[in-house]
Structure 1
Amino acid sequence: MAARTKARKRALDVLFEADQRGENVLEVLNSRLSESGRETPLPEYSAQIVRGVAERWLEINTLLSDAAAPDWTLQRMPAVDRAILRIGAWEILANAEVATSVAIDEAVELARDLSTDDSPSFVNGVLGTIARDAPALPSSTE
Protein backbone atom coordinates (compact mmCIF):
# COMPACT_ATOMS: atom_id res chain seq x y z
CA MET A 1 0.00 0.00 0.00
CA ALA A 2 1.39 3.41 -0.96
CA ALA A 3 2.42 5.83 1.77
CA ARG A 4 -0.26 8.39 0.95
CA THR A 5 -2.92 5.70 0.80
CA LYS A 6 -1.95 4.59 4.31
CA ALA A 7 -1.89 8.21 5.46
CA ARG A 8 -5.41 8.78 4.13
CA LYS A 9 -6.63 5.72 6.01
CA ARG A 10 -5.05 6.95 9.23
CA ALA A 11 -6.55 10.44 8.72
CA LEU A 12 -9.91 8.74 8.18
CA ASP A 13 -9.45 6.96 11.52
CA VAL A 14 -8.91 10.28 13.31
CA LEU A 15 -11.86 12.01 11.62
CA PHE A 16 -14.13 9.02 12.24
CA GLU A 17 -13.10 8.73 15.90
CA ALA A 18 -13.75 12.42 16.53
CA ASP A 19 -17.14 12.18 14.83
CA GLN A 20 -18.21 9.10 16.78
CA ARG A 21 -17.08 10.50 20.12
CA GLY A 22 -18.39 14.00 19.46
CA GLU A 23 -14.92 15.40 20.13
CA ASN A 24 -12.93 18.17 18.51
CA VAL A 25 -11.01 16.82 15.53
CA LEU A 26 -7.83 18.69 16.38
CA GLU A 27 -7.89 17.43 19.97
CA VAL A 28 -8.17 13.84 18.74
CA LEU A 29 -5.34 14.50 16.28
CA ASN A 30 -3.11 15.95 18.99
CA SER A 31 -3.86 12.95 21.17
CA ARG A 32 -2.88 10.55 18.37
CA LEU A 33 0.30 12.51 17.70
CA SER A 34 1.40 12.52 21.33
CA GLU A 35 0.19 9.03 22.29
CA SER A 36 0.38 6.62 19.38
CA GLY A 37 0.14 3.62 21.73
CA ARG A 38 0.91 0.38 19.94
CA GLU A 39 0.25 1.90 16.52
CA THR A 40 3.02 3.33 14.40
CA PRO A 41 3.26 7.10 14.69
CA LEU A 42 0.73 9.02 12.62
CA PRO A 43 2.22 9.91 9.23
CA GLU A 44 2.80 13.61 8.59
CA TYR A 45 0.43 13.53 5.61
CA SER A 46 -2.34 12.19 7.88
CA ALA A 47 -1.86 15.15 10.20
CA GLN A 48 -1.79 17.52 7.21
CA ILE A 49 -5.10 16.11 5.96
CA VAL A 50 -6.80 16.35 9.37
CA ARG A 51 -5.53 19.88 9.96
CA GLY A 52 -6.59 20.92 6.46
CA VAL A 53 -10.07 19.47 6.91
CA ALA A 54 -10.42 21.10 10.34
CA GLU A 55 -9.25 24.46 9.01
CA ARG A 56 -11.86 24.39 6.22
CA TRP A 57 -14.53 22.46 8.17
CA LEU A 58 -17.51 24.72 7.45
CA GLU A 59 -16.58 25.32 3.81
CA ILE A 60 -16.07 21.61 3.16
CA ASN A 61 -19.30 20.64 4.91
CA THR A 62 -21.23 23.22 2.91
CA LEU A 63 -19.76 21.94 -0.35
CA LEU A 64 -20.55 18.34 0.59
CA SER A 65 -24.12 19.25 1.49
CA ASP A 66 -24.56 21.15 -1.77
CA ALA A 67 -23.07 18.31 -3.87
CA ALA A 68 -25.06 15.48 -2.28
CA ALA A 69 -28.65 14.68 -3.15
CA PRO A 70 -31.10 16.90 -1.25
CA ASP A 71 -32.32 14.01 0.90
CA TRP A 72 -28.75 13.01 1.92
CA THR A 73 -27.77 15.51 4.58
CA LEU A 74 -24.39 15.18 6.26
CA GLN A 75 -26.12 13.84 9.36
CA ARG A 76 -27.84 11.13 7.34
CA MET A 77 -24.64 9.90 5.69
CA PRO A 78 -22.73 7.07 7.33
CA ALA A 79 -19.96 8.53 9.49
CA VAL A 80 -17.27 6.78 7.49
CA ASP A 81 -18.62 8.32 4.27
CA ARG A 82 -18.57 11.79 5.85
CA ALA A 83 -14.93 11.34 6.80
CA ILE A 84 -13.99 9.97 3.36
CA LEU A 85 -15.79 12.83 1.62
CA ARG A 86 -14.09 15.44 3.81
CA ILE A 87 -10.68 14.01 2.97
CA GLY A 88 -11.47 13.83 -0.74
CA ALA A 89 -12.93 17.34 -0.85
CA TRP A 90 -9.91 18.80 0.94
CA GLU A 91 -7.50 17.05 -1.42
CA ILE A 92 -9.43 18.20 -4.50
CA LEU A 93 -9.86 21.80 -3.43
CA ALA A 94 -6.92 22.67 -1.20
CA ASN A 95 -4.03 20.33 -1.99
CA ALA A 96 -2.48 21.09 -5.36
CA GLU A 97 -0.02 18.20 -4.90
CA VAL A 98 -2.78 15.62 -5.45
CA ALA A 99 -4.46 15.27 -8.84
CA THR A 100 -8.25 15.44 -8.70
CA SER A 101 -8.60 12.02 -10.30
CA VAL A 102 -6.27 10.51 -7.68
CA ALA A 103 -8.18 12.12 -4.81
CA ILE A 104 -11.46 10.75 -6.14
CA ASP A 105 -10.06 7.29 -6.87
CA GLU A 106 -8.51 7.02 -3.40
CA ALA A 107 -11.76 8.12 -1.75
CA VAL A 108 -13.77 5.60 -3.76
CA GLU A 109 -11.34 2.82 -2.77
CA LEU A 110 -11.66 3.76 0.92
CA ALA A 111 -15.44 3.65 0.56
CA ARG A 112 -15.25 0.29 -1.20
CA ASP A 113 -13.07 -1.16 1.58
CA LEU A 114 -14.74 0.41 4.61
CA SER A 115 -18.34 1.35 3.92
CA THR A 116 -21.57 0.12 2.36
CA ASP A 117 -22.04 -1.36 -1.12
CA ASP A 118 -23.63 1.91 -2.29
CA SER A 119 -20.92 4.14 -0.85
CA PRO A 120 -18.33 3.98 -3.66
CA SER A 121 -20.75 5.34 -6.27
CA PHE A 122 -22.11 7.90 -3.80
CA VAL A 123 -18.60 9.12 -2.91
CA ASN A 124 -17.65 9.22 -6.60
CA GLY A 125 -20.72 11.27 -7.47
CA VAL A 126 -20.35 13.79 -4.65
CA LEU A 127 -16.63 14.33 -5.22
CA GLY A 128 -17.12 14.48 -8.98
CA THR A 129 -19.68 17.25 -8.51
CA ILE A 130 -17.32 19.13 -6.20
CA ALA A 131 -14.43 18.76 -8.64
CA ARG A 132 -16.58 20.08 -11.45
CA ASP A 133 -18.43 22.89 -9.68
CA ALA A 134 -16.59 24.10 -6.58
CA PRO A 135 -13.88 26.74 -6.50
CA ALA A 136 -10.53 25.84 -5.01
CA LEU A 137 -10.11 26.72 -1.36
CA PRO A 138 -7.23 29.03 -0.51
CA SER A 139 -4.30 27.12 0.91
CA SER A 140 -3.39 27.69 4.53
CA THR A 141 0.03 29.01 3.47
CA GLU A 142 -1.33 31.93 1.46
Structure 2
Amino acid sequence: MAHVATARTKARKRALDLLFAAEARGLSAGDLLDQQIREGEVPNNPFTVKLVRGVVAESERIDALISAFAKDWTLTRMPAVDRNVLRIGVWELLDGDVAPEVAISEATALVTELSTDDSPSFVNGVLAAVAKDLAKR
Protein backbone atom coordinates (compact mmCIF):
# COMPACT_ATOMS: atom_id res chain seq x y z
CA MET A 1 0.00 0.00 0.00
CA ALA A 2 1.42 3.37 -1.00
CA HIS A 3 1.80 6.00 1.69
CA VAL A 4 -0.70 8.81 1.15
CA ALA A 5 0.72 12.25 1.93
CA THR A 6 -1.84 13.86 4.20
CA ALA A 7 -1.60 17.40 5.56
CA ARG A 8 -0.21 15.96 8.79
CA THR A 9 2.34 13.87 6.89
CA LYS A 10 3.53 17.03 5.14
CA ALA A 11 3.59 18.87 8.49
CA ARG A 12 5.80 16.11 9.95
CA LYS A 13 8.21 16.43 7.01
CA ARG A 14 8.33 20.22 7.48
CA ALA A 15 8.96 19.77 11.22
CA LEU A 16 11.74 17.32 10.38
CA ASP A 17 13.27 19.84 7.96
CA LEU A 18 13.21 22.48 10.72
CA LEU A 19 14.69 20.19 13.39
CA PHE A 20 17.36 18.94 10.98
CA ALA A 21 18.31 22.46 9.82
CA ALA A 22 18.45 23.80 13.38
CA GLU A 23 20.72 20.95 14.48
CA ALA A 24 22.98 21.39 11.43
CA ARG A 25 23.34 25.10 12.24
CA GLY A 26 23.78 24.57 15.98
CA LEU A 27 20.58 26.46 16.76
CA SER A 28 17.58 25.69 18.91
CA ALA A 29 14.73 24.46 16.73
CA GLY A 30 12.43 26.80 18.64
CA ASP A 31 14.67 29.77 17.83
CA LEU A 32 14.84 28.80 14.15
CA LEU A 33 11.06 28.43 14.04
CA ASP A 34 10.62 31.85 15.70
CA GLN A 35 13.09 33.38 13.22
CA GLN A 36 11.24 31.90 10.26
CA ILE A 37 7.89 33.13 11.61
CA ARG A 38 9.38 36.64 12.08
CA GLU A 39 10.63 36.54 8.49
CA GLY A 40 7.16 35.62 7.25
CA GLU A 41 7.93 31.95 6.58
CA VAL A 42 5.10 30.70 8.77
CA PRO A 43 4.54 26.96 8.32
CA ASN A 44 1.18 26.63 6.56
CA ASN A 45 0.09 23.84 8.90
CA PRO A 46 -0.19 24.63 12.63
CA PHE A 47 0.67 20.97 13.30
CA THR A 48 4.26 21.71 12.18
CA VAL A 49 4.54 24.39 14.86
CA LYS A 50 2.96 22.07 17.46
CA LEU A 51 5.46 19.30 16.62
CA VAL A 52 8.55 21.53 16.73
CA ARG A 53 7.48 23.26 19.94
CA GLY A 54 6.57 19.92 21.51
CA VAL A 55 9.91 18.32 20.63
CA VAL A 56 11.77 21.37 21.98
CA ALA A 57 9.73 21.50 25.20
CA GLU A 58 10.16 17.77 25.92
CA SER A 59 13.65 17.34 24.43
CA GLU A 60 15.34 15.94 27.55
CA ARG A 61 12.60 13.38 28.18
CA ILE A 62 12.43 12.46 24.47
CA ASP A 63 16.20 11.98 24.15
CA ALA A 64 16.26 9.92 27.36
CA LEU A 65 13.56 7.59 25.98
CA ILE A 66 15.33 7.24 22.63
CA SER A 67 18.64 6.53 24.37
CA ALA A 68 17.01 3.94 26.62
CA PHE A 69 15.58 1.94 23.71
CA ALA A 70 18.08 2.50 20.86
CA LYS A 71 20.12 -0.62 21.53
CA ASP A 72 23.83 -0.07 20.87
CA TRP A 73 23.24 3.36 19.33
CA THR A 74 23.97 6.69 20.97
CA LEU A 75 22.06 9.74 19.80
CA THR A 76 25.25 11.24 18.35
CA ARG A 77 26.00 8.08 16.33
CA MET A 78 22.60 7.96 14.65
CA PRO A 79 22.07 9.56 11.27
CA ALA A 80 20.66 13.05 11.89
CA VAL A 81 17.48 12.24 9.95
CA ASP A 82 16.81 9.16 12.10
CA ARG A 83 17.52 11.02 15.33
CA ASN A 84 15.10 13.82 14.48
CA VAL A 85 12.40 11.52 13.11
CA LEU A 86 12.65 9.55 16.37
CA ARG A 87 12.23 12.79 18.32
CA ILE A 88 9.06 13.61 16.40
CA GLY A 89 7.76 10.05 16.81
CA VAL A 90 8.45 9.92 20.54
CA TRP A 91 6.81 13.32 21.04
CA GLU A 92 3.72 12.06 19.21
CA LEU A 93 3.68 8.97 21.45
CA LEU A 94 3.90 11.20 24.54
CA ASP A 95 1.31 13.66 23.22
CA GLY A 96 -1.25 10.93 22.60
CA ASP A 97 -3.07 12.92 19.89
CA VAL A 98 -2.68 10.05 17.40
CA ALA A 99 -2.68 6.31 17.94
CA PRO A 100 0.78 4.84 18.60
CA GLU A 101 0.51 2.81 15.38
CA VAL A 102 0.01 6.01 13.39
CA ALA A 103 2.98 7.78 15.01
CA ILE A 104 5.20 4.75 14.33
CA SER A 105 3.95 4.29 10.77
CA GLU A 106 4.44 7.97 9.91
CA ALA A 107 7.97 8.02 11.36
CA THR A 108 8.88 4.82 9.52
CA ALA A 109 7.54 6.27 6.25
CA LEU A 110 9.64 9.43 6.69
CA VAL A 111 12.91 7.54 7.15
CA THR A 112 12.02 5.12 4.35
CA GLU A 113 11.89 8.13 2.05
CA LEU A 114 14.81 10.12 3.47
CA SER A 115 17.37 7.92 5.20
CA THR A 116 19.34 4.67 4.95
CA ASP A 117 18.03 1.19 4.08
CA ASP A 118 18.44 0.13 7.72
CA SER A 119 16.60 3.16 9.11
CA PRO A 120 12.97 2.00 8.76
CA SER A 121 13.43 -1.14 10.86
CA PHE A 122 15.59 0.75 13.38
CA VAL A 123 13.10 3.61 13.83
CA ASN A 124 10.15 1.21 13.91
CA GLY A 125 11.85 -0.91 16.59
CA VAL A 126 12.81 2.01 18.82
CA LEU A 127 9.38 3.62 18.62
CA ALA A 128 7.58 0.30 19.20
CA ALA A 129 9.69 -0.25 22.34
CA VAL A 130 8.99 3.29 23.57
CA ALA A 131 5.24 2.85 22.92
CA LYS A 132 5.23 -0.47 24.80
CA ASP A 133 7.05 1.14 27.72
CA LEU A 134 4.70 4.14 27.82
CA ALA A 135 1.67 1.82 27.72
CA LYS A 136 2.88 0.16 30.95
CA ARG A 137 2.96 3.47 32.86
Residues 41 and 134 of structure 1, relative CA distance in 2, 3 Å threshold: closer
SS of structure 1 residue aligned to 2:117: coil
SS of structure 2 residue aligned to 1:116: coil
Per the TM alignment, residue 79 of structure 1 is displaced from its structure 2 partner at its CA by 0.5
Q: Unaligned regions of 5+ residues in structure 2, if any?
A: none
Write the distance in 2 (CA, Å) between the matches of 1:61 and 1:79: 13
What does 1:16-27 align with in structure 2 at a 5 Å threshold? Answer: 16-27=20-31
What does 1:44-55 align with in structure 2 at a 5 Å threshold? Answer: 44-55=46-57
Q: Unaligned regions of 5+ residues in structure 1, if any?
A: 138-142
* 2:36 is aligned with 1:32: yes
Per the TM alignment, residue 42 of structure 1 is displaced from its structure 2 partner at its CA by 3.9
* 2:5 is aligned with 1:4: no
Cα distance per residue 1:22-56 (max 9 Å; x no partner): 1111111112223255xx74421000000001000
Per the TM alignment, residue 135 of structure 1 is displaced from its structure 2 partner at its CA by 6.2
Q: CA RMSD in A?
A: 1.8
Equivalence for 2:62: 60
Residues 18 and 65 of structure 1, relative CA distance in 2, 3 Å threshold: same
What does 1:1-142 align with in structure 2 at a 5 Å threshold? Answer: 1-36=5-40, 41-69=43-71, 71-94=72-95, 96-134=96-134
Relative to total residues, which structure has the larger helix share, 1 or 2?
2
Letter in 2 for 1:29: L
Write the distance in 1 (CA, Å) between the matches of 2:69 and 2:37: 32
Give the TM-score, by structure 1 length: 0.88
Residues 135 and 63 of structure 1, relative CA distance in 2, 3 Å threshold: farther
Give the TM-score, by structure 2 length: 0.91
Write the distance in 2 (CA, Å) between the matches of 1:108 and 1:132: 17
